[in-house]
Amino acid sequence: MSSNNGSALMKPLRDVGIVGYGAYVPRYRLPAREVARVWSGRDAELPIKEKAVAGLDEDTATMSIEAARNALARAGIDPKRIRAVWVGSESHPYAVKPTSTIVAEALDIVPLTQAADWEFACKAGTEAMQAAIAFVGSGMADYALSIGMDTAQGRPGDALEYTAAAGGAAILLGPAEESLARIEASLSYVTDTPDFWRRAHAHYPSHGQRFTGEPAYFHHVTSAAEMMLEGMQRDPADYRYVVLHQPNTKFPQRAAKQLGFRKEQFETGLLVPVIGNTYAGSSLIGLTAVLDEAQPGDRVLVVSFGSGAGSDAFSLEITDAIVDARRRALTTRDYIARRVEIDYATYARFRGKMLMK
Amino acid sequence: MSVARSWRTRRQRYSLVGERCEYCQNAIFPPRDVCPHCAEPAQKEYTMSGRGTVYSYTTVYDPPAGFEAYAPYPVALVKLDEGPMVTAQLTDVGADDVRIGMPVEMVTRKLSEQGDEGIIQYSYKFRPRWEQQAVAA
């Protein structure tokens, strides 16, 4: 039995790993040039190429169900053995009534399970993953399902409308000996930093403009990553892949380079140029894209970021089980390749931005 | 659909939970008290695979209350691989791209909302089977 001894790193009593994972990206894409055409002219600087948009009949619950079905297909376990269904999102369909019970019911995990929704802006999904590691690692459960999924809101004409996207991933945690990726350690780094928020009855979020950069994203992401590297006594070169939260194309690339990572390490998990910022799903779907390609023995560093603000960091080591597991469900790139381009008017209809009565 | 009925039918709607007759072995959907094939009672729960083909279809332009936001949308009779025929919306497909015999698979989607303050109903719908899906350039 280990003791934390005041270390920044968190390690559970029993070794834990990822036993299943699944992604979901809806099929519609809104090119950033379409947003620019309507709001800022054609020569505007575009933060991404295009973003994924949910269809009229999709929300965080339906997208979580499909991602979780993919995760369960990879794990091949009886869903009744899952003892927690935790969905992190900032776009839960209800203000009061859990998304997680809908997901748990659809996957036949009910009734002997925890079910709750998590909220921490873009890191609600990794927050749920930390809790799932603890739940399995303490021995209270053999399996716990954590999901980061969003249909993110963007105020029409706001800078975030280019990137606020739909998608995410489900990560099923279980015993390390059954896992396709072992959790070596994790840590969480949090301060009260008001860079981005949405009040209780507001439709759209507000943000601190340039304040969202240095004191928020860069400070938390690089601090969490540096403390993880220091705690593990590793260099960036010890990791085959790194995945950082990706609100736009520039931020994660700059942070990764600042930390000493090279392009070959971050390009596999950098999906924001082609799907946008999937908020609570962003770092987790970057991770699923890496798991689709990683080889046994590879190490992966994942660092999320949530406004408000904080980062969760995870150090993973891929196991032999990845080779069979990844074939059992659609890959992240399969979903990205399924693509139907829409114009701004269709986007406005899909996202309910037109007053109908 | 009332809240009570929505709750009562949630398992069949979310994941096509039906029955298989223990006497004549036919798959039954939706679940019922008596087998429609051999009239024997007390059937055994069985979850359909979700795979099937379009038997026939139409496009709804004049939708019933609660479905206005989705019109026009395709509705199909889907012949499940296990045998039962179900009526369901098709999704992730344009009305012009539907054809009889098209292989489809079940997904769980939003069916309707009871206004801004009522419950949201989720249900099975069918989309073109993954390998059939259009991947536009």
Answer whether CATH 3.40.47.10 is correct for domain A181-324.
yes
Strand, helix or coil for residue A327: helix
For chain A, count helices (H), then strands (E): 12, 14
Q: E-assigned strands of chain B?
A: 17-20, 27-28, 44-47, 51-60, 73-80, 85-89, 103-113, 120-128
Give the distance from residue B22's alpha carbon to the nearest chain A alpha carbon, in angstroms. Answer: 22
What is the residue range of B67's domain? 3-136
**Is A334–B10 a contact, with Cβ atoms under 8 angstroms apart?**
no
Q: Which of A231, A312, A183, A316 is nearest to A5 (CA)?
A: A231
pLDDT at B137: 34
Query: Which residue of A lies nearest to B127 if distances are taken between CA atoms?
Result: A27
pLDDT at A1: 45
Whole-angstrom Cα distance, residue A167 to residue A152? 9
DSSP for residue B16: -
Q: Which of A107, A83, A98 is nearest to B108 (CA)?
A: A107
pLDDT at A42: 67
pLDDT at B134: 47
Q: Is A90 a catalytic residue?
A: yes
**Is B108–A330 a contact, with Cβ atoms under 8 angstroms apart?**
no
A343 vs B: CB within 8 A: no
pTM: 0.97
* Side chain identity, residue B137: A
Q: Which of B33, B19, B10 is nearest to B84 (CA)?
A: B19
pLDDT at B1: 81
- Give the percent of chain B with pLDDT over 90: 80
User: Is residue B131 over pLDDT 90?
Assistant: no
Q: Which of the residues A90, A127, A161, A184 is marked catalytic? A: A90
Whole-angstrom Cα distance, residue A189 to residue A305? 9
Which of A57, A59, A65 is facing B70, going by the closest CB pair? A57
**Is B14–A341 a contact, with Cβ atoms under 8 angstroms apart?**
no
Which of A55, A102, A340 is facing B136, going by the closest CB pair? A340
Q: Is A245 a catalytic residue?
A: yes
* CATH number assigned to the domain with residue range A2-180+334-350, chosen from the 4 options 3.40.50.720, 3.40.50.150, 3.40.47.10, 3.30.420.10: 3.40.47.10
pLDDT at A208: 83
pLDDT band with cut points at 50, 70 and 90 for residue B133: low
Which residue of B122, B123, B126 is the best one to mutate when testing the A interface, meaning the one whose CB has the most A CBs within 10 A?
B122
Please tell me the total count of domains within chain B: 1
Give the distance from residue A106's alpha carbon to the nearest chain B alpha carbon, in angstroms. Answer: 5
Does A2-180+334-350 match A181-324 in CATH topology? yes
Half-sphere exposure of A260 (CA within 13 A, CB side): 10
Q: Is A45 a catalytic residue?
A: no
Backbone angles phi, psi at B49, to 5 degrees: -70, -25
B 51-90 residues with CB < 8 A to A = 69-70, 89
CB contacts, 8 Å: A334 with chain B: 130
Six token digits for residue B35: 């087998």
Is A79 in contact with A197 (CB distance < 8 Å)? no
The tens digit of pLDDT for each residue in B60-104 reads 999 998 898 899 999 999 999 999 999 999 999 988 899 999 999
Sequential pLDDT tens for chain A (357 residues): 456 778 899 999 999 999 999 999 999 999 999 999 999 876 778 999 999 999 999 999 999 999 999 999 999 999 999 999 999 999 999 999 999 999 999 999 999 999 999 999 999 999 999 999 999 999 999 999 999 999 998 899 998 999 999 999 999 999 999 999 999 999 999 999 999 999 988 989 988 877 789 999 999 999 999 999 999 999 999 999 999 999 999 999 999 999 999 999 999 999 999 999 999 999 999 999 999 999 999 999 999 999 999 999 999 999 999 999 999 999 999 999 999 999 999 999 999 888 877
Residue ranges covered by each domain of chain A? 2-180+334-350, 181-324
Given strand A340-341, what is the order of strands in its sheet? A50-53, A28-31, A340-341
pLDDT at A3: 64
A65 vs B: CB within 8 A: yes
Whole-angstrom Cα distance, residue A176 to residue A324? 16
Tokens 């809101």 label which residue? A153
